[in-house]
Structure 1
Amino acid sequence: MASGHYGYDRLPPIRHGLVEIDHAVFEANQAHIRSAVITTENSVPLGYTVPAFATVDDAVRRVTLDDIVANGPAVLIFYRGAWSRRCTEALRRYERELLPELYRRGVNLVGISPQLPDGSQYTRVLNNLTFPLLTDSGNVIARTLGIAHFADPNTMDTVERAGYAVGKRNSDGEWELPHPTTLILDHRRTVRFIDVRVDGLPPTHPKDILAELHS
């Protein structure tokens, strides 16, 4: 699938509205202070075995969950999409501060969003990411994990006024999104760590992810 088929190559960075607020929150939390793990009443608990699934990466290559955890633990980062500065800032930070250590430990890192593969490709190329970005078609995986939600009207209006018609770029054409979430699975697809960042909270800190893998 060619990059830019849905117009991603023509989209400017968003620098105002809700996404700018997201960025300010992220910048204010650069200094690491260990934060509590957040879960919701709907999110799956520790010990939950995630059902096997198959999806595609940004090059439309088939990827299965069993592939991801074949050699041991894996870190799954659920993010909202290319339009969210807070999410893309976090992905870049994970590339810099998390991926080298995960690589040394033989731990896979993947990003997952509901956007179509060319949106994932836009995200990866624009942010110089080297780890895979996968499509959660119809938010099936996010729903299974209890981390999916529908964006509020104010968020939709703000983002769409900036030129990002998210519903047209998500695989099911809807404004359903995952809460930004970090998941650590073992080789049996069992949840060993889940952190659901709701209400504009900063993403899970790389040091906290590494601490969980070390424990």
Structure 2
Amino acid sequence: MKSTRLRFLSILAVATLGLATSAFAGDMAQSDHAMAMMPMKQLGVGDHVPAVTVLDEASRPHDLAALVREKPTVLIFYRGGWCPYCNMHLAALVGIEDELRAAGYQLLAVSADQPMKLRETPDRGKIHYQLFSDQEMKAADALGISFEVKPDDVRMFKEKYQIDLEAASGRTHHKLPHPAVYVVDTSGTIRFAHVNPDYKHRLEPQKIVAAAKDAAMMTTAKM
């Protein structure tokens, strides 16, 4: 019953937020698409999660590589709490958190938001998995999934949508991560990777669950 209710709430959140994203997406698409075409060296299956520092909501530092070694991990990268598509995805992940936990996984989500902004994430009270700040963008840079928003677009976000990227991250680098999903084993090895420069398209929650279960089966088979 709880799982069914969570899935319903996730679907409802997606439907509600979806009504408000079309104009926002239209203005942002051209800029993000152009930046997405820039070549970058991305880490993928078989690579290791980098040893970089991320911060929790209380600004406490954590080694990302150490975090994923605590238990099998589904590691999410999203742009920030100001992004409606990210918030839809975070809400949808609530619906699979119990299923991932039952499969032995922890769910971690990382964004460019500074720690204090993590607490302002919409519906934060309904999100039980951990959120981390990569405000220096060291994790996204190391994974090869970062890009820099052009100055004209930084101004447009602020003037038209009241989205202040500098206030969000607390930094002036104007960098964001491409949305990404990684399934990582306890050795820190990436067993599944999905990175899509088109921020409007996110990996479906059940596909994340399937990838996590497949990775767990492969790990068990090798033991």
Q: What TM bracket, shorter-length normalisation? A: 0.7 to 0.9
Deviates more, 1:198-207 or 1:72-81: 198-207
* Larger RCO (alpha carbons 8 Å, 6+ apart): 1
TM-score normalised over the length of structure 1: 0.76
Encode CA deviations 1:18-69: one digit per residue, 9 max, x unaligned: 53559xxxxxxxxxxxxxxxxx752112101122233221122333334432
Equivalent positions of 1:119-158 (< 5 A) are: 119-123=117-121, 125-126=123-124, 128-153=126-151, 155-158=153-156
After TM superposition, give the deviation of residue 185 of structure 1 in Å.
1.1
- Letter aligned with residue 208 of structure 2: I
Please tell me whether residue 196 in structure 1 is matched to residue 198 in structure 2.
Answer: no
Assess if the C-alpha contact under 8 Å between 1:168 and 1:174 holds in 2.
no
Matched with 1:113 is 111
- C-alpha RMSD of the superposition: 2.6
Q: Which runs of 5+ in 1 are unaligned?
A: 1-12, 23-39
Q: Which runs of 5+ in 2 are unaligned?
A: 1-16, 28-38, 215-223
Taking only the aligned residue pairs, the percentage that are identical comes to 26
Closer, same or farther: CA 175–107 of 1 in aligned 2, 3 Å: same
Q: Would you say how many aligned residue pairs link Structure 1 and Structure 2?
A: 185
The 3-state SS of whatever aligns with 1:81 is coil
- Letter aligned with residue 51 of structure 1: P
After TM superposition, give the deviation of residue 194 of structure 1 in Å.
1.1
In 1, the alpha carbon distance for the partners of 2:57 and 2:201 equals: 26
After TM superposition, give the deviation of residue 173 of structure 1 in Å.
2.3
Assess if the C-alpha contact under 8 Å between 1:183 and 1:195 holds in 2.
yes
After TM superposition, give the deviation of residue 137 of structure 1 in Å.
2.9
Encode CA deviations 1:114-159: one digit per residue, 9 max, x unaligned: 1111111111655731111101131100010000001245643442
Assess if the C-alpha contact under 8 Å between 1:54 and 1:64 holds in 2.
yes
Question: Which of 19, 22, 40 pairs up with 2:24?
Answer: 19
The 3-state SS of whatever aligns with 1:109 is strand
| Displaced runs of 4 or more, over 6 A | none
TM-score normalised over the length of structure 2: 0.73
Name whichever structure is richer in helix by fraction. 2
Name which one, 1 or 2, has greater alpha-carbon Rg.
2
